[in-house]
Amino acid sequence: MGIFRNLPINNPLVKTRFEKNMNRHKDLKWEKIQQKLEAHPEKIRSLYEMEATEGEPDVVDYNKKTDEYSFVDCSPESPKRRSLCYDYQAWEARKANKPESNVIDTASEMGIELLTEEQYRHLQELGKFDQKTSSWIKTPTQIRELGGAVFCDRRYNTVFTYHNGADSYYAARGFRGILKV
């Protein structure tokens, strides 16, 4: 309890979000999640990074086999980590107007991973996200090797998956991360 209470993050905010959105994690108890966080203090920094970039992290899954809870960015629109190309290779290939960074390195620095398409679609079953923005997702190797990258959004009450050049970046495109604890 001591480690979690001394977080630079507002502990009641994460707990309150958890309790307010029980539809995202029926049958899960906050006390067990808090114990798990306390047992893995290195994950707390990642959770803080998600919160600091307005990702509004919340638990959306528990895997019994691996005994892991999954925190995912649940902000209505893509978090404030936007205007980033897909990866370092794409960033390096840009000759002009390079973005500040890329999503793969940013996620790695935060200690989180990009959502897969399956994880993104699961999130969309829990609410309506990215109705005005879009989010890069983990891109299959065969697409990335050809210079592409994949992103998703929700429009017309439907989840769409699209492609773009990995070196592209837009003010309304960010990424959603997942933290397994």
- Alpha-helical (H) ranges within 21-149 are 30-39, 41-52, 88-93, 103-110, 117-125, 141-144
Looking at residue 13, what is its pLDDT? 78
State residue 14's pLDDT score: 84
Per-domain boundaries in the chain: 2-73, 88-180
Q: What CATH number is given for 88-180 in this structure?
A: 3.10.100
CB neighbours of residue 82 within 10 Å: 22
Query: For the residues 162-169, what does the mean pLDDT come to?
Result: 97
Describe the strand order of the beta sheet including 57-63 as a list of residue ranges: 57-63, 68-73, 177-180, 113-114
d(CA 137, CA 162): 10
Tokens of residue 8, six digits: 């630079």
Residue 37: name the closest of 6, 65, 64, 81 by CA.
Answer: 6
Residues 6+ apart with CB under 8 A from 62: 25, 28, 68, 69, 70
pLDDT confidence band for 10 (50 / 70 / 90): very low
pLDDT digits (tens, 9 = 90+) for 106-132: 999 999 999 999 999 999 999 999 999
Answer whether residue 24 shows pLDDT above 50.
yes
- In degrees and rounded to multiples of 5, residue 34 shows phi and psi of -60, -40
Cα separation, 54 vs 17, in Å, equals 13
Q: Which range has highest mean pLDDT (5-9, 39-43, 122-126)?
A: 122-126
